[in-house]
Structure 1
Amino acid sequence: MNFEAVDRFGVHSTERTDQIGEYLLRQARRSKQGEVDLEKAKVSSTLYVGNLSFFTTEEQVYELFSKAGPVKKVIMGLDRFERTPCGFCFVEFESHLDSLYAVRYLDQTKLDDRIIKIDRDPGFVDGREFGRGVSGGQVRDEFREDYDPGRGGYGKNRQR
């Protein structure tokens, strides 16, 4: 099956959304482990989902992603100190193909009034569910200058 749209000049009119994300490509250029993770992501059935509201539930994620295929499990990202949601999760599908469908059809869609970002992932490992920021959440939320009620208000650095 070919899902790419081609315009009347024979040029691809849509960008492929099932490609490996920039984060994994950068990691692969920086380290040997990054290269290993890149290869794993090519066959993995796990996805990283970002830009979630802190109030999005596991059930909401499961319901949306089940439209792409059978979901094995959803692992919500947590603040490493507070153990509260911090705006990301991992979704593991029963099959690799279903994970590709999810990237293709659900990336940049809205969930809980937020546009979500989906990337292929090398696979979940214990400990990755916790935010890596200094404050325990995601690094990106520490430097945010604007007020975002869906992600805890102002960035952590601005609140200090």
Structure 2
Amino acid sequence: MALLFKDPSKISAYRDRRFPGTQEEFEHALVTSTTVYVGNMSFYTTEEQVYELFSRTGEIKKIIMGLDKNTKTPCGFCFVLYYSREDTEDACKYISGTILDDRPIRVDFDWGFQEGRQWGRGRSGGQVRDEYRTDYDPGRGGYGKLVQKELEVQRQLVDYGAGSLGSFPPVIPTSYGRHGGGGGHGHGGSHRHGRDYYRKRHRDDERHTHESSKRTSDHESRRNTDHESRPEKNPRFRESGDSDEDEEDDRKRRA
């Protein structure tokens, strides 16, 4: 028949390396202690929830919540101190494996709480198990610390790449206006500026052509007017440019 409860006579094989004594002294402390270690808790489980559950097996002397040594926030474990050994054994027997805050918790005998054991022993401040955990556990901060660091590095690389692409100004098509290839005042000009310049230049060329044609027409008109208004030469009067030989020839022809 399968056992539904934990056998309190079986001592955990876990050996706390910070225990100051020998292995025999460690085992003796476990079989006489009135302290239990509670693991696999959610980071969001409160001391009140722990008290409500563990007070069902006996009177509780004290509860010490495990804290992240950097953030000073709960990191998923605690110590529960009872007044009697019998209540301690009942807690390990009946509560271990039950659901607390939607999670199955683990309850083991502990050799006794000492100041400093409430802090996480992981490099990041929490528990060691959360340093190397690769699965996603929403009740314990998501992924493990190492995985979170890798994801953060990848996110920074993606953000850096997106920022690099956006750090360059947009390319503006340049137009060659009166300022040469620049087309503007320090910004390369715009397409509209170049288009307006060519339109204005075309109007100036048309105006210049029209004025030139008008001047030519006026000049021709003045020349024709001067020619028509000039009096016809009278053969009876000698102009300043006529010679004596021409006058003598004219007299002979008339005679």
TM-score range, shorter chain: 0.7 to 0.9
1:139 to 117, 128, 139: 128
Q: Which residue of structure 2 lines up, in the alignment, with residue 75 of structure 1?
A: 64
Opposite residue 109 of structure 1, the aligned amino acid is: T
2:7 to 1, 17, 20: 17
1:90 to 79, 82, 88: 79
* 8 Å contact kept, 2:6–2:96: no
**What percentage of aligned pairs have identical amino acids?**
54
Is residue 129 from structure 1 mapped to residue 118 from structure 2 by the alignment?
yes
Q: TM-score normalised to the size of structure 1?
A: 0.85
Q: Which residue of structure 2 lines up, in the alignment, with residue 158 of structure 1?
A: 147
Count of aligned pairs between the two proteins: 146
Runs of 4+ in 1 over 6 A off after TM superposition: none
Query: 1:93-137 CA deviation, whole Å, 9 max, x = no partner?
Result: 010110000100000000000000010001100000001001010
Does the residue aligned with 1:129 lie in a helix, a strand or coil? coil
Opposite residue 107 of structure 1, the aligned amino acid is: S
Shift of 1:32: 4.9
Opposite residue 12 of structure 2, the aligned amino acid is: G
Does the residue aligned with 2:14 lie in a helix, a strand or coil? helix
1:109 to 98, 103, 113: 98
Stretches of structure 2 lacking an aligned partner (at least 5 in a row):
150-255
Q: Which structure shows the higher helix fraction?
A: 2
Q: Which residue of structure 2 lines up, in the alignment, with residue 39 of structure 1?
A: 28
Query: 1:35-89 CA deviation, whole Å, 9 max, x = no partner?
Result: 3222111100000000000000011001100000001010000001111100000
Q: TM-score normalised to the size of structure 2?
A: 0.54
For 1:75 and 1:32, locate their aligned partners in 2 and report how far apart those are by CA, in whole Å: 23
For 1:153 and 1:56, locate their aligned partners in 2 and report how far apart those are by CA, in whole Å: 15
For 2:117 and 2:78, locate their aligned partners in 1 and report how far apart those are by CA, in whole Å: 10
For 1:93 and 1:63, locate their aligned partners in 2 and report how far apart those are by CA, in whole Å: 14
Q: Which residue of structure 2 lines up, in the alignment, with residue 3 of structure 1?
A: none
Identify the structure with bigger relative contact order (alpha carbons < 8 Å, sequence gap 6+). Answer: 1
* 8 Å contact kept, 2:6–2:94: no
For 1:86 and 1:108, locate their aligned partners in 2 and report how far apart those are by CA, in whole Å: 19
For 1:34 and 1:124, locate their aligned partners in 2 and report how far apart those are by CA, in whole Å: 17
Larger Rg: 2
For 2:68 and 2:44, locate their aligned partners in 1 and report how far apart those are by CA, in whole Å: 13
